[in-house]
Amino acid sequence: MIYGIMKAVLGLEDGTYVRGRGFGVEGEISGELVFSTQMAGYMEALTDPSYFGQILLFTFPTIGNYGVDEKNFQHPRVWAEGCVAREICGSPEAGPSLPEYFRENGLSGIEGVDTRMLTIKTRLQGTLKCALVTGDDDGEYAVECARKVPEISDKDLIPAVSCREPYHVAGRGKRIAVIDLGMKKNITISLRKRDADMYVFPHDSSPDLIGSCRPDALFISNGPGDPLKARGAIQAVKELAGTLPIYGICMGNQICALALGAETYKMKFGHRGTNQPVRYKDGSIYITTQNHGFAVAGDTLPEGARILYSNVNDGTLEGFEEPYLDITTVQFHPEAHGGPLDTEIPFFDTMFRRLD
């Protein structure tokens, strides 16, 4: 196949469909259509397990300019179901192109569509289910497929992205037990920078198994889908809270809140990108990387819990602490270096200072 001539169509559950040029391989894929506002880091996003079950639309007009750089992958494989872009660079200056990588790895995407229109539609109507057909451009068929897609809250996505067995990443520092709900590589890097002795556990590990490594702290990772599906992790936090410090990032923030009896909800279209502003409790502003479609209802946190961060754009909760139980969480991704290092330093350095 010569790049750029394959037919493709993206159909939405509301009856909209857009035709474009397919890249990668022929086929049919489906999921939620979500958009990210990042200008770079497209492969970090595509390989983020939190995008499992979703087709990722990039709002930046051109994607793929610097090719595929595997050293920055957040997981060995692409987890997003597919890719939607205004324009894909087919001849980057370095590395294989995005179309080449998609074709070699059995992935599908579409370019040449009005991503601005699709983004505005999502902001107005909320996240829509969609289907991407490559190799054909039957819009009515794509819409029909989109309407058959299950709601993301009905999908149990976490088992596919979590590790299958516990494993150990040796270090000479504090012993950190990690519940892997789809952990990004940069979280491991940030913990290893501080010489953490990591014991990583599958999503459904029992509190007894987690406690058997005698950790100095428990860490809950990011992950895809509805946090209510992470029943094992919620139970682990419930039973271990108060016995050791607990930290969480992204879904980890939601899991800790649910374990304390708070509520989560599905957002209209979520926060995804590398330029999301959050306000710390002292009024200072940080630019953060985010990828979440669910949030914690701050007014449902128990007495004694305190909101640490809130989103500047919409006021949603971006992190909290429960000092009595020694729980600290953030909804954004400090390990992703959105600022580039502004939130990694206060989160991870503060975490390890408290453990000393």
Residue ranges in the chain whose pLDDT is less than 70: 1-4, 338-340
CATH fold of the domain at 158-355: Rossmann fold (3.40.50)
Helix (H) / strand (E) element for 43: namely helix 42-46
Reported pTM? 0.95
Q: Are 91 and 65 in contact (CB under 8 A)?
A: no
- Radius of gyration over every alpha carbon of the chain, rounded to an integer in angstroms: 20
Domain ranges of the chain: 6-149, 158-355
What does the DSSP assignment read for 163-183? Answer: -SS-EEE--SS-EEEEE-SS-
| pLDDT at position 341 | 72
Q: How far apart are CA 63 and CA 98, in angstroms?
A: 8
**Region of 160 on the Ramachandran plot (φ > 0 left; ψ -120 to 50 alpha; else beta):** alpha
Q: How far apart are CA 22 and CA 10, in angstroms?
A: 10
What was the pLDDT predicted at 1? 39
Residue with structure tokens 């789809």? 182
Judge whether 6-149 and 158-355 match in fold: no
pLDDT tens digits for range 209-246: 999 999 999 999 999 999 999 999 999 999 999 999 99
**pLDDT score for 219:** 98
Q: Which of 250, 271, 292, 322 is catalytic?
A: 250
Nearest in space to 258 (alpha carbons), one of 231, 218, 291, 292:
231
Specify whether 263 is catalytic.
Answer: no
Active-site residue flag, 250: yes
Q: Do 52 and 157 form a contact (C-beta atoms < 8 A)?
A: yes
Tokens of 55: 């087709």
Catalytic residue from among 203, 271, 292, 333: 333
Write down the catalytic residue from 44, 81, 322, 335.
335
Residue pLDDT, tens place only, 47-76? 999 999 999 999 999 999 999 989 889 999
CATH architecture of 6-149: 3-Layer(bba) Sandwich (3.50)
Q: Is 168 a catalytic residue?
A: no
Query: What local confidence, expressed as pLDDT, does residue 2 receive?
Result: 43
